Amino acid sequence: MKSSDDILHLGGYPRVRMRRNRQHSWLRNLVAENHINVHDLVWPVFVQEGENLRTPVASMPKVSRFSIDVMVEEARQAAALGISAIALFPVVSQDKKTTQAQEAWNPDNLMCRAVRALKQAVPNIGIIGDVALDPYTSHGQDGLVEGELIVNDATVEVLCKQALALAHAGCDIVAPSDMMDGRIGAIRDALDADNQSHVLILAYAAKYSSSFYGPFRDAVGSASNLGKANKFTYQMNPANGEEAIREVALDLAEGADMVMVKPGMPYLDVLRHVSEHFSIPVFAYQVSGEYAMIMAAHENGWIDGRRAMLESLLCFKRAGATGVFTYAAKEIAQWLYDHAVKSAGLMK
């Protein structure tokens, strides 16, 4: 492969005119290095108790919490549009939150019932189950707390129970997002010992202690439980990039099938770094704060939300993402479908 310096020796302006490849929309599409496909999209969905409920999330425009029956119908539509997978996150009622998070491995908890309903009604869409304790703890932390410490090994034991409950319910992929040390290997061993070796593990390997998670915590109801506490002792320091490589390497050695970089847009350098170091599927998460900023700016007329959203997804792909978790997945899938239909009509 020739370097840019070698190419420049071949000639420059006026023989070389970079704008020639940008003259027409069909030409720009033809030479584009990256494209957004519906199969790149994973749709994060919030599930709540009740029936026929669709509760808007105030801090996330166009995002709602769904009761299981509504979620199933939404999932049918998503599958029809070609979305590959849904990532489920539960809105757990306060009376079921405890210091030890016992509800997390209840085989009849909200998540397990939602997974079973999805598997029965929409078997052709993948189901990714979040493995973390913060929706279930009365203190809002992803791990168990002793005194003022978030304890690692005791938390890992509980995460294994949670992962097994999700696997038994029918999850195709379990996704530990807690950032405890050693949890990937422990969950892999637990799944394999329980004849669940077919269940994949998506490790949130490079998950940063970010300010961009606020709307998510509102959506699942953990913000009030967490209060003024933080997650600095287990989520990664935003100042660190090389540390992400070590985290990913450890999770892969422990049996992860794919990894996550989270958040997305502010950490494109980390995403590129990981994708260049490892020949594995790497996902980016366009987190709630990123999504909310784009949508809020759109609603105020400051930017074109559709173009900004699609541009952000192209940035993830350009940086090396295999796929992207985005709350706009269903809407984007509809845009892509409508565009394809329109293009086909123009070609007749």
User: What positions carry a catalytic annotation?
Assistant: 207, 262
- Apex 20 CA angle, 14 and 24, nearest 5: 160
For residue 17, the one-letter residue type is R
Q: Are 87 and 128 in contact (CB under 8 A)?
A: yes
Q: What is the DSSP string of 198-216?
A: TSEEEEEEEEB--GGGHHH
What's the CA dihedral at 240, 246, 247, 250 to 10 degrees?
A: -170
Q: How many other CB atoms are there within 10 angstroms of residue 239's CB atom? A: 7
DSSP string for residues in 99-112: TT-GGGG-TTSHHH
10 Å CB burial of residue 331 (0-12, 13-18, 19+) is: middle
List, in sequence order, the alpha helices (H) in 85-195. 110-121, 152-169, 183-193
